[in-house]
Chains A and B, each alone.
Chain A
Amino acid sequence: MPLFKKRGTTRGAPTRLFYACDIHGSEPTYRKFLNAAKFYEIDTLIFGGDLMGKLLVPIVRDAGGGYRARLQGQNHHITSDAEMAQFKKVLQTLGFYWQEMDPEEYRSYEGNQGRIDELFDVLAKDRLAEWVALAEERLKGTHVRVLLCGGNDDTDQVLTALDETAQDRVVSAENRVVPIDDEHVVVTVGYSTPTPWETPRERSEEEIADVIGKVMADVPDPSRAIFNFHCPPLDSGLDTCLKLDASVWPPTPVIVNGQPIYYGAGSRSVADALTEYQPTVGIHGHIHESRGVTNYGRTLALNPGSEYGEGVLRGLIVTIRGGDVVGHQFTSG
């Protein structure tokens, strides 16, 4: 055994990854994500989950031929095509969906959460299919591929758009092992542990550990793997958020002695996997306010956070070579 052999000394150009997550339907943020390939000179774009938006704005016709809508606590009266275009542009930036409707149709949705969820799924799936087509168009003729997956906030119904749309540059990465160069693979798991919000794709720690174990069975060398796990590791500083009382809706902060309580909302299974497998790097999202970096042995774990609502693409450039991180950079594009 060569005594002085350094790990990861493979020569050649490093591979540059760009990672972002939690854009929640924001159109300009997604477009920036695609353009990051050229802008940052990236080889592979990796998305870490939570594609779907959270709000749907009904734009309701009124008696005068205009429209009424409510946004950010303010009522809007839209009376011209130009105003409508500007209003929709703001909604796109914020990651909201919209539907023009008559008052009767609007009333048919009021209080009917089942119908509202169906409408969300239809609009979100349409937008995701458009996004896949846009990625194919923008990355055509380049060597860059984009790995897309869901997070805990995305529904399985909407994520079917990833597999249904013809793909060359876009890879549906969920629960798969995707090679990105001659050495490295990306392993993707989009689930999170249970949250107070009862989101669509939450799993128990045991279920997450089981999924990770199954996917890792196909990885020949864990030290050359990039863990694209939506949920950050537990108590890592990448998962810090307020503890919430789930017995009310919407959940409210747990107050003790007049003060809110912080805690780690990440996954023990993810932390254990980072410790056990010692991959090249762990890239995570889920907790928007917990941007940061930490270590699990030799493995760097990172969360770039998210500010999709302002049209800002929080991201992360990671340069890797021979199973090691050469450098990393948080971005705010």
Chain B
Amino acid sequence: MAEAVAPQVFTRRASGLVRVMSPYSAFIYNILTMGVIFPWTYLWAPTAFQGSNLVLGILFAFLFELPIALSYVWLATALPRSGGDYVFQSRVFGGGFGFTVVFAFFVVWILQWVALSGWLLATLGLAPTFIGLGVTTGIDGFTSFGTWCASTNGIIIISIINALLAMVLLVTGFKNYVRFQYVMWYAILISFGIVLLLFLFTNPGSAHGKLDGFAASVDGVKGFFATAKSAAATAGVNFNPPFWLFGTLMVAPIAWTSLQWATYSVEQGGEIKNAHVFRNQLFIIVGSLATVAALLIVLALALSKGFGQDGIMVASSGYWYGVGEATIGGNVLFPNFIAMGLTGSWLIVLLIGFGFILNSFQIVCNCYIGTTRIMVAQGLDGLLPDWFARVHPKWKTPLNAHIAYFIAALPVIYGFNKIGSWTRWTLGVTFANGAVMVLSALAAALLPYRAKQLYEASPGAQYKIGGFPMVTVFGILGFLLGGFMVVSFLFVKDLGLAFSNDALPYWIVVGTAAFGLLVYLVMKSVQSSKGIKVEYAFQEIPPE
């Protein structure tokens, strides 16, 4: 009688594939990309949607993103390669669609994030840090330098240096980035932890008083908080609004501008160890999403406890309504800046500032890492000149793609900071990036039907709900819930494109899509003249 045996596989001496980025590194990468320390939710939502509940709104964003993140788990295990979203969409929808969407809405629009990361480094990292150091040490030079950092020319110069340094770090070897990422990770954890503790161990009355003292040191004003609150009320802030459910729902798209990046590690899926293992991708994508959502909620609660709802509304009015009285040294009251105002210690200021400086730098690194890998994949598919796909023989990195992206970022950095209408023209950035992720969720839903064999060989194929592939269920849910937020960016006045009451931002979105399609058609024509059909890069050959 045969007895139960738990057999192991047999192996022989054969070569194996080894990758460089551990799942833990990829998990950290996603957390840093989501930018747990960035303040949009706390500065944008409270006054744009007065009566909204921040904690509930962040929770909605988490729940809306969850099926998208889960559908990416299936995609990432079925297609664990670099170029992520481009690979998913081109294999499921076809090359013309996949290239146009990902090139136009990711590669082109993420240039805006290169400029934004420089702005963040200057205004959220360097300026508050040096102003804080100036106040705590009494050295005026620090305060002057901090003020210069927040000036237009200062931001432009800092942004260019930021982009250049990131390019040098990344082209000289991806391992250099992975090594430096651990420094950024621990610095940011310390920074975030200190900010939380400062808010948790104070109360609104005391915090407002300390901020008065901080503002007096920087700007020489008296009674800062009371003045700022009064100006905010004049600008239209209701300090006791009733609860507003729709407004709370609209917090979700704002929080989603952070949480949507939980899937960004898929762009370098070919460099993550055991990227095809289901639990690894669950940890990397869903784990990082849950972690950041929890941290955002904790920070919202800590802000409310230590700085009060009035304080949050005042800070938000400085950002959203441009209330000058609610800024210090010309700086909006970002949570880290407020925290610096609560401490009298230069060391605490330095630790907070260091974390924010490094996370700002990390954002520009993300821009390069994700987009250059997409460009390399597109170059290898023949949809960009293969110059983009060339790997430097010594550094083993796509040097040309990095250089091209740096050069392309320069006019965007200039426009972002020098052209007053630039941010109005580019209101489509949140829509464009979100649309890529929502369409990838749809690609996941269709994976079992459009790439049947690929799906059946993937570890996620065994999971079904009522006979339906689980990825199809999550993909459809993600497409609908993500679609709700993407459509909100299109039509809700205080969220995105509708903000300017102008058709131009919509035309710019259409224009970038048309540009992507034009590049596709030109490259298709060029390759055709060489006897090559670009469609061959994506079409699955029937095995039978």
A interface, CB within 8 angstroms of B: 14, 16, 24, 27-29, 31-32, 35-36, 39-40, 52, 54-63, 68-75, 89-90, 93-94, 96, 102-103, 106-107, 109, 113, 116-117, 119-120, 152-153, 195, 197-200, 235-237, 240-242, 244, 250-251, 253, 257-262, 264, 286, 288-289, 291-294, 307, 309-313, 317, 319, 326-333
By the criterion CB–CB under 8 Å, are A198 and B13 in contact?
yes
Q: Is B19 positioned at the interface, with any CB of A under 8 Å from its CB?
A: yes
The SS class assigned to the B binding surface is: loop
By the criterion CB–CB under 8 Å, are B4 and A39 in contact?
no
Given contacts A70-B8, A292-B380, contact A62 B20 (CB under 8 A): no
Residue of A nearest to B178 (CB): A259
Shortest CB–CB separation between residue B526 and chain A, in angstroms? Answer: 10
By the criterion CB–CB under 8 Å, are A54 and B14 in contact?
yes
Q: Is B493 positioned at the interface, with any CB of A under 8 Å from its CB?
A: no
Distance in angstroms between the alpha carbons of A75 and B4 in the assembled complex:
12
Rank and list the top 5 A-B pairs by shortest CB-CB distance, nearest first: A327-B530, A31-B543, A333-B541, A237-B391, A56-B10
Given contacts A237-B390, A237-B393, A292-B391, contact A68 B4 (CB under 8 A): yes
Q: In the complex, which residues of chain A have a beta carbon less than 8 angstroms from the beta carbon of B393?
A: 235-237, 264, 294
Q: Is B79 positioned at the interface, with any CB of A under 8 Å from its CB?
A: yes
Q: In the complex, which residues of chain B have a beta carbon less than 8 angstroms from the beta carbon of A14?
A: 531
By the criterion CB–CB under 8 Å, are A32 and B396 in contact?
no
Which of B7, B18, B276, B459 sits near A68, CB closer than 8 Å? Answer: B7
Distance in angstroms between the alpha carbons of A292 and B393 in the assembled complex:
11
Q: Is B453 positioned at the interface, with any CB of A under 8 Å from its CB?
A: yes
By the criterion CB–CB under 8 Å, are A197 and B14 in contact?
yes
Q: Is B234 positioned at the interface, with any CB of A under 8 Å from its CB?
A: no
Distance in angstroms between the alpha carbons of A117 and B14 in the assembled complex:
11
Shortest CB–CB separation between residue B10 and chain A, in angstroms? Answer: 4
Given contacts A56-B10, A109-B10, A307-B81, contact A331 B537 (CB under 8 A): yes
By the criterion CB–CB under 8 Å, are B18 and A326 in contact?
no
Distance in angstroms between the alpha carbons of A59 and B12 in the assembled complex:
17
By the criterion CB–CB under 8 Å, are A259 and B179 in contact?
yes
By the criterion CB–CB under 8 Å, are A311 and B15 in contact?
no
Which of A39, A260, A292 sits near B20, CB closer than 8 Å? Answer: A260
Q: Which of B58-66, B289-297, B359-367, B381-389 contacts A (4 or more CB under 8 A)?
A: B381-389
The SS class assigned to the A binding surface is: mixed
By the criterion CB–CB under 8 Å, are B12 and A120 in contact?
yes
Q: Would you list 15 pairs from A and B whose C-beta atoms are within 8 A, ordered by A residue?
A: A36-B541, A40-B536, A58-B10, A68-B6, A93-B457, A237-B392, A258-B182, A259-B178, A293-B389, A309-B457, A310-B454, A311-B454, A313-B541, A329-B532, A332-B91
Which of B6, B13, B179, B382 sits near A197, CB closer than 8 Å? Answer: B13
Residue of A nearest to B1 (CB): A63
Which of B91, B178, B390, B454 sits near A292, CB closer than 8 Å? Answer: B390
Q: In the complex, which residues of chain A have a beta carbon less than 8 angstroms from the beta carbon of B543?
A: 27-29, 31-32, 35, 311
By the criterion CB–CB under 8 Å, are A293 and B13 in contact?
no
Shortest CB–CB separation between residue B145 and chain A, in angstroms? Answer: 33
Distance in angstroms between the alpha carbons of A286 and B14 in the assembled complex:
11
A58-B7, A329-B532 known; 17 other A-B pairs, CB under 8 Å? Answer: A54-B11, A56-B11, A61-B2, A71-B9, A93-B457, A107-B5, A119-B10, A120-B10, A258-B179, A288-B17, A292-B380, A310-B79, A310-B454, A319-B532, A327-B531, A330-B380, A333-B541
**Residues 365 to 410 of chain B near chain A (Cβ within 8 Å):** 380-382, 386, 389-394, 396
Which of A94, A241, A291 sits near B457, CB closer than 8 Å? Answer: A94
Distance in angstroms between the alpha carbons of A329 and B386 in the assembled complex:
10
Shortest CB–CB separation between residue B423 and chain A, in angstroms? Answer: 39
Given contacts A72-B459, A309-B276, A310-B458, contact A328 B9 (CB under 8 A): no
By the criterion CB–CB under 8 Å, are B540 and A333 in contact?
yes
